[in-house]
């Protein structure tokens, strides 16, 4: 990130959001040539799907690929309310998630929370860029409400936390609507060397929204699938070793694993205090950076208090630079280029795109 970009955050954020959205839609169009997909088009027609394509149409969701910035603009203009946005996502979850199993539990108070945030907006109180924005969180993060925290395990079924995790309190204070909790690899994959990514005893098997018989990757598989399939605006996963970045990559979204100590781990079911952290998952870089800053705060009660406290910003969008590749040298590990013809062509196309972008800038 270019620190000198501060002050240009809004412009760069909008450019990157539009660019990333264009690329996602282009990819969806490509994959949909052979079979439709849940993420933006229709239900997957992969081998394990026995649902006729003509019986379901998921292309008619008017919030497909909508960013945080765009939702805020619509709410400011009076075109949408937080309650309406929340209702749209809940309706989509009802339509889609029986095929994905990305959502393990919905927040029964979500609509009431959205209504209160609408009332605040009418009175002139805007908490920030997350005001009224629906968020999904992984089911190993405590919420002091009516929802359970189980890490997907039947052993913890019925467990209701006494209070919010540190980051969830910040999320609520920022005005986000906690829409529900996402399925995951049970115990965040800390249960076997041969477990299935995205499976939990409580939630079942999460499915990849691009193709239902492909892996969603773990352990934040439910968040990755939910964000990709437009079941929420943004989401939160957790990572010890790859559990944010892998499902983000496999499901075609943006994931960030924050530096330890940047987001508090208080109230999150642990694996390794030397590696664990929650982090943002979103459909574009701008939304991920926005969520990163909104929940960033040093917590003196975190287990890693011996770490040197670095500089933590409240807003990371000013560091988004549209021409960030300009002048950079990027190494390509040619021995790692995939052998599968279709995957190889996509990999090479991505490299060529980066080369063209660098030249154009």
Phi-psi region of 233 (alpha: psi -120 to 50; beta: other; left: phi over 0): alpha
Rg (CA), the chain: 20
Longest Cα separation, the chain: 59
User: Which are the contacts of 226, defined by CB distance < 8 A and separation ≥ 6?
Assistant: 97, 100, 102, 103, 136, 182, 232, 235
State yes or no: is 196 an active-site residue. Answer: no
Instruction: Name, in order, each residue with C-beta under 8 angstroms of 31's C-beta and a sequence gap of 6 or more.
Output: 37, 210, 211
- Cα–Cα distance for residue pair 349/270, rounded to 1 Å: 39
Q: Is 22 in a helix, a strand, or coil?
A: helix
Does residue 243 carry a catalytic annotation? yes
Residue 38: its H or E element: none
Q: Which residue in the list 35, 221, 243, 264 is annotated as catalytic?
A: 243
- Please work out, in degrees rounded to the nearest 5, the angle formed at the alpha carbon of residue 343 by the alpha carbons of 15 and 185: 80
- Rounded Cα distance, 160 and 146, in Å: 7
Examine the residue annotation and report whether 123 is marked as an active-site residue of this protein: no
The residue annotated as part of the active site, out of 17, 21, 35, 138, is 138
- Which residue among 185, 200, 219, 286 is the active-site one? 219
Distance of alpha carbon 94 from alpha carbon 241, whole angstroms:
32
* Contact present, 237 and 278 (Cβ < 8 Å): yes
Q: List phi, psi (to 5°) of 195.
A: -90, 165
CA distance 28 to 149: 34
What amino acid positions are annotated as catalytic residues? 138, 219, 243
């Amino acid at each position: 990130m270019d620190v000198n970009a501060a002050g240009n955050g809004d412009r760069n954020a909008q450019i990157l959001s539009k660019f990333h959205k264009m690329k996602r839609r282009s990819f969806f169009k490509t994959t949909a040539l052979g079979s439709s997909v849940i993420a933006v088009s229709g239900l997957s027609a992969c081998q394990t799907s026995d649902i006729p394509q003509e019986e379901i149409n998921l292309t008619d969701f008017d919030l497909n690929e909508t960013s945080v910035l765009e939702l805020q603009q619509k709410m400011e203009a009076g075109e949408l309310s937080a309650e309406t946005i929340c209702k749209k996502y809940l309706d989509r979850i009802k339509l889609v998630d029986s095929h994905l199993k990305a959502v393990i539990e919905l927040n029964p108070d979500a609509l009431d929370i959205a209504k209160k945030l609408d009332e605040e907006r009418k009175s002139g109180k805007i908490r920030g860029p997350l005001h009224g924005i629906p968020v999904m969180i992984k089911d190993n993060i405590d919420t002091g409400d009516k929802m359970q925290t189980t890490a997907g395990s039947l052993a913890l079924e019925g467990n209701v936390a006494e209070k919010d995790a540190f980051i969830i309190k910040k999320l609520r204070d920022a005005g986000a609507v906690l829409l529900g909790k996402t399925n995951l690899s049970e115990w965040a994959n800390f249960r076997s060397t041969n477990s299935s990514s995205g499976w939990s005893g409580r939630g079942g098997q999460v499915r990849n929204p691009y193709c239902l018989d492909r892996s969603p990757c773990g352990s934040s598989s439910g968040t990755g699938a939910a964000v990709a399939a437009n079941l929420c605006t943004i989401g939160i996963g957790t990572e010890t070793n790859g559990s944010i970045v892998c499902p983000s990559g496999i499901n075609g979204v943006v994931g960030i694993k924050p530096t330890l100590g940047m987001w508090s781990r208080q109230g999150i079911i642990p694996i390794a205090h030397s590696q664990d952290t929650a982090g943002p998952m979103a459909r574009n870089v701008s939304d991920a950076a926005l969520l990163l800053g909104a929940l960033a705060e040093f917590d003196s009660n975190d287990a890693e208090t011996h770490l040197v406290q670095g500089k933590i910003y409240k807003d990371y969008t000013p560091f988004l630079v549209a021409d960030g590749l300009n002048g950079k040298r990027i190494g390509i590990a040619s021995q790692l280029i995939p052998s599968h013809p279709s995957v190889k062509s996509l990999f090479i196309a991505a490299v060529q795109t980066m080369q063209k972008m660098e030249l154009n800038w």
